[in-house]
Amino acid sequence: MKKIYYYESFQDDFVESKNQNFKLKENYKWIHTNIFYKIGAYLINIFVIIFSYCYSKLFLRLKIKNKKLLKKEKEYFLYCNHTQILGDVFNPFLICFPKHPYIICSTSNLGIPILGKILPIAGALPIPDNIHDMIKFKEAIKYHSNKEHPIVIYPESHLWPYATFIRDFPNTSFHFPYDNKKKVFVATTTYSKSKFFKKPNIVIYIDGPFSINPNLDKKENITMLHDKVYETMKMRSKLNNYEYITYKKKN
């Protein structure tokens, strides 16, 4: 029997961490230049890549299509639909390999026992909840982007496991590629019925790049990038052929 999740709006949460209300410390750092921190981050990154490969191949049975598109670019922003609990943490390391991605995420992820401590070292960029820290946050995005680290964004924000449709999302995150003058790619996770397993097989499709149009102003460019990403995700979502979890709107 299929699982059915009922929702009131696309802002509903179906997955919450044990410390959902986790708050960043006042002196939280998004940029680390300490040599010992960098060495630790390098070693953890190696572990994360190995774990990501094993997890994606053995448990998710993941395939990535058109990955060669990313190899041609040094700096880019990658937008993904948000449908995997662990996969959305680790899959970007395979998608972007050999580059080291930095993933924009909710601060609640840092409240996860054990894993929450590792995420910032591995490359998580938690979204702050105040203007002062937002300045530092934007500086970190610029810093890592200019270091040729892909910046990964889940514009749907809320994790809906195995969702086979694309939820409407705002254009607020699209000022990042505009402000940093970087190209945009899309990674859409899709699901197909497995012959041998209850859970579906996963295929991630890479599309792009989408570039800033010099003939448009900032607002027009942000809208244009949003629309291209949204329409591309919707186009790829038509390749889904199996619903492991069904989502229905409450009456």
The contacts found for 122-126 with CB under 8 angstroms, 24 or more apart, are 122/41, 122/44, 122/45, 122/48, 123/41, 123/45, 123/149, 125/30, 125/151, 126/24, 126/28
Helix (H) or strand (E) holding 236: helix 218-237
R_g over Cα of the chain? 18
Residue 145 near residue 168, CB atoms below 8 Å:
no
Q: Which amino acid is at 25?
A: K
Instruction: Decide: residue 247, CB within 10 A, 0-12 exposed, 13-18 middle, 19+ buried.
Output: buried
CA dihedral 40, 43, 47, 53 (to 10 degrees): 120
Better pLDDT: 72 or 199: 199
Is 60 a residue whose pLDDT tops 90?
Answer: yes
Integer Cα distance of 16 and 202 in angstroms:
23
Task: Taking residues 147-172, report their average pLDDT.
Answer: 96
| pLDDT value, residue 104 | 95
Of 1-15, 154-168, 183-197, the range with the lowest mean pLDDT is 1-15
Q: What is the mean pLDDT of the chain?
A: 92
| pLDDT value, residue 40 | 87
| pLDDT value, residue 1 | 63
Query: Strands 102-105, 151-153: parallel, antiparallel or unpaired by DSSP?
Result: parallel
Can you say how many angstroms the Cα of residue 3 is from the centroid of all Cα atoms in its chain? 24
Task: Taking residues 222-247, report their average pLDDT.
Answer: 97
Residue 200 near residue 191, CB atoms below 8 Å:
yes
Task: Taking residues 131-138, report their average pLDDT.
Answer: 90
- Cα–Cα nearest to 237, from 31, 82, 74, 86: 82
For the structural domain made of 3-12+30-249, what CATH number should be given?
A: 3.40.1130
